A and B are shown apart, each in its own frame.
Chain A
């Protein structure tokens, strides 16, 4: 299947600093990518939908100024957690669909990024 690469897989940062997470579709183009957050023992929660060449669409309750999303190309989306605080510590996951496939085709997921803010 198609591959989505997420980097870094783990990051520890100090409170108040910013962290950038990259999500790349390696062998397909993705017009739309999705960013999720997952707290321990909980399910995935959609944070935002990233659209190539336009602004991201954020879910209710997600601060757009804190979680900056950039989708500058058809193979790369980035999520920047700005002024991180310990409560932002979580598992962040991206996903993407191959725009060359049908509208009901499956989404592919990155391996996730474990963010720890100390």
Chain B
């Protein structure tokens, strides 16, 4: 599966949109982009995933560039409870559903 690159940390003011970037320049055509987050000392929580098109759900929006080499996770109105480590993962459905975890981005929401 393709490797991802994320900034190690980011800050965002409460109430503002948090935009988390992810580079996956070696992504192949059958690989999906998944986003999870992990709040301290808890199991990871699924946020969103996509292949080509932008996706939106009740938690976030996922913007994937046309060449699919990068994506951005958007939390539209960040709250203090969104402070967590956010992981961007690319996975092929041929990989027996395994997720390979990078270091992620530590997002800190500040009041």
Q: Contact residues of A with B, CB < 8 Å?
A: 1, 4, 6, 32, 34, 36, 43-46, 49, 91, 93, 95, 97, 103-104, 106-112, 114
Contact = CB atoms under 8 A, between A and B. Distances in A.
A44 B44 contact: yes
Nearest to B102: A43
A107 B99 contact: yes
Interface of B: 32, 34, 36, 41-46, 49, 51, 87, 93, 96-104
B34 to A, nearest CB: 7
B104 A106 contact: no
A1 B46 contact: yes
B87 A43 contact: yes
B32 A109 contact: no
A110 B49 contact: no
B98 A109 contact: no
Nearest to B91: A104
Contact of B46 (A103, A104, A107): A107
Contacts of B103: 43
A34 B43 CA distance: 13
Contacts of B41: 91, 112, 114
Contact of A32 (B51, B97, B102): B97
Top 7 nearest A-B pairs (CB, nearest first) are A109-B43, A106-B46, A44-B101, A43-B101, A103-B93, A112-B43, A109-B44
